[in-house]
Amino acid sequence: MIELFKSIQLDKESKTSLYLQLFNCLKELIQDGTLPPDLKLPSVRKLSEALKINQITVVSAFKQLEKEGFAYSKPGSGTYVANSLQAVPESLPTTFLDELYQNDDISVINNDRIKISDQTINFASATPTSDLFPVKDFKLVLNEVLDRDKGSAFGYQDSQGFYPLRESIAEILKRSSIHCNPENIQIISGAQQGIDIISKAFLSQGDYVITESPTYTGAIAVFKSRGAQIADVQMEKDGLNLNILEYTLQKFKPKLIYTIPSFQNPTGCSYSNYKRAEIVRLAEKYGAYIIEDDYVSDLDFENRGFSPLKALDFNHRVIYIKSFSKIFMPGLRLGFMIVPQKLKQQTIEAKHTTDISTSGLTQRAFDLYIREGYWDQHFNFMFDIYKERYFETIHALDGHLPKEVTYSKPGGGLNIWLDMPYGFPVNNLLKHASSNDVVFAPGRIFYSGNCPQSINNIRLSFAAVYTDQIKCGVEKLCAMIASLLDGKDLYQSIRIL
């Protein structure tokens, strides 16, 4: 086996750095099939000895392979060849996909290959369009706050957050069966900051974090930035695989488990009641804390009535994070966390180090917005709109989706996760679709590195698509999928990407 690698020719005189030369050679071997999917690559040490190059050079080449989707690594095992069908073709740079994913808003993408225009039917963004924002009402409360609080709305605020807002939030939470004290609520500038603060407070280099696979990559970016190791556990239709979860807890002793238990992003799956209780029990047993990212549990269109993990958290292992971005206005940058008493002081300190406090004006205005009843009114308005869009999407999919493609109805949330057949060229579909004014998020971008070759998905979000466009968008997309399923030539073309 190592003989094959010994034949690799690197030119030390070349202007191209050695690691890039090695990367290119390996990439070619993967693309032409010489190195088949799931083959374990030689160890860094062996390859560096065989090629008489520095180990760092090999590590860099492997990392580049991973970054571009040609390889994946298993912690403690090594680097493996990925399914090249999953690899990102050069015409679709990773950065495009990262941005698409991270901003959760395709409008920010500046990429001439993926055309986005006013005509584009955008199934990629899970964020409401700005015409739905309650600007008039919010303007009213803003002015009321300015007249009421004057300068004190603009002084340094308590790092934990404006107390009356914490009271208002504690009140709202009772509806989700969460009974908490305002003393345990920490105001944050959006869910992303919540994940960042928790990581800063509790993760050190080398600590393990369990994540669902696939999951919100914005969380993974934070954990990696703290130097943490990701141990991802496969997401099933009713939540994490419990056997693998327990094995991973035993083996890696992670500090944190990051989960989105209801209408998960991206899969739309929700944990069963049994798995909800079990994940809390296991966290306790193995001394881990759970970050419960409550993305959109309140968008429960089919009345499944899930209980948040926080409501089952009798032994204080759950850190509950909630953003207002999906229901309210993402640009306000506002959210909150419920933090167990034991972790509270560290959390406040990490928030202070991060940005001292969240904008006092925003906190005061949002507090008044809740107290004057606008929040309930707006929530109901958004719920009805999203619900209509959800059923419209489901209806259109049921009518037009080729039988080779399957999905489970999530019953709520903002995303639908399509299972494409093995080897389906998702990236080609995306390029093709975007030229025809439809975009979506390819499933691959929600994996932290080692996207299993058997997985091949598409995330359709209906948050940003008007109800009367949904049918047309889904029909166009289904037609393109059908034509790709028919045209074997497109399958073939992937081998030479």
- The residue type found at 105 is D
Give me the long-range contacts of 38-47 (CB less than 8 A, separation at least 24): 38/80, 38/81, 38/83, 38/453, 39/80, 39/81, 40/77, 40/78, 40/79, 40/80, 41/71, 41/78, 41/79, 41/80, 41/81, 42/1, 42/2, 42/5, 43/78, 46/2, 47/2, 47/5
- Closest CB to a copy of itself among residues 21, 323: 323
- Closest CB to a copy of itself among residues 30, 464: 464
Q: In angstroms, what is the C-alpha Rg of the chain?
A: 24
Interface with a copy of itself (CB under 8 A):
102-105, 108, 127, 129-133, 135, 138-139, 142-143, 146, 150-159, 189-190, 192-193, 196, 200, 204-205, 218, 221-222, 225, 227, 325, 329-333, 349-350, 352-362
CB of 352 to a copy of itself, least distance (A): 6
CB of 188 to a copy of itself, least distance (A): 8
CB of 138 to a copy of itself, least distance (A): 8
Classify strands 121-122 and 318-323 as parallel, antiparallel or unpaired: unpaired
Length, in residues, of the chain: 497
CB of 344 to a copy of itself, least distance (A): 13
- Closest CB to a copy of itself among residues 133, 491: 133
- Closest CB to a copy of itself among residues 196, 300: 196
Q: Please list, in sequence order, all residues whose beta carbon lies within 8 angstroms of the beta carbon of residue 202, skipping any fewer than 6 positions away.
A: 255, 256, 289, 343, 346
User: Rounded distance, CA 230 to CA 236, Å?
Assistant: 18
Residue 43, burial from CB neighbour count under 10 angstroms (0-12, 13-18, 19+): middle
User: Rounded distance, CA 466 to CA 121, Å?
Assistant: 9
CB of 360 to a copy of itself, least distance (A): 4
- Closest CB to a copy of itself among residues 30, 463: 463
User: Rounded distance, CA 358 to CA 346, Å?
Assistant: 17
CB of 159 to a copy of itself, least distance (A): 8
User: Rounded distance, CA 262 to CA 299, Å?
Assistant: 9
The SS3 call for residue 416 is strand
User: Rounded distance, CA 492 to CA 260, Å?
Assistant: 37
For 409, other C-beta atoms within 10 Å of its C-beta total 15
CB of 403 to a copy of itself, least distance (A): 37
CB of 193 to a copy of itself, least distance (A): 4
366: its two tokens: 């949002």
CB of 153 to a copy of itself, least distance (A): 7
User: Rounded distance, CA 314 to CA 320, Å?
Assistant: 13
- Closest CB to a copy of itself among residues 42, 360: 360
- Closest CB to a copy of itself among residues 4, 356: 356
- Closest CB to a copy of itself among residues 98, 171: 98
Classify strands 185-188 and 335-338 as parallel, antiparallel or unpaired: antiparallel
- Closest CB to a copy of itself among residues 140, 244: 140
CB of 384 to a copy of itself, least distance (A): 18
Helix (H), strand (E), coil (C) string for 251-302: HHCCCEEEECCCCCCCCCCCCCHHHHHHHHHHHHHCCCEEEEEECCCCCCCC
- Closest CB to a copy of itself among residues 189, 215: 189
CB of 150 to a copy of itself, least distance (A): 5
For 439, other C-beta atoms within 10 Å of its C-beta total 22
User: Rounded distance, CA 20 to CA 429, Å?
Assistant: 29
- Closest CB to a copy of itself among residues 152, 483: 152
User: Rounded distance, CA 101 to CA 173, Å?
Assistant: 29
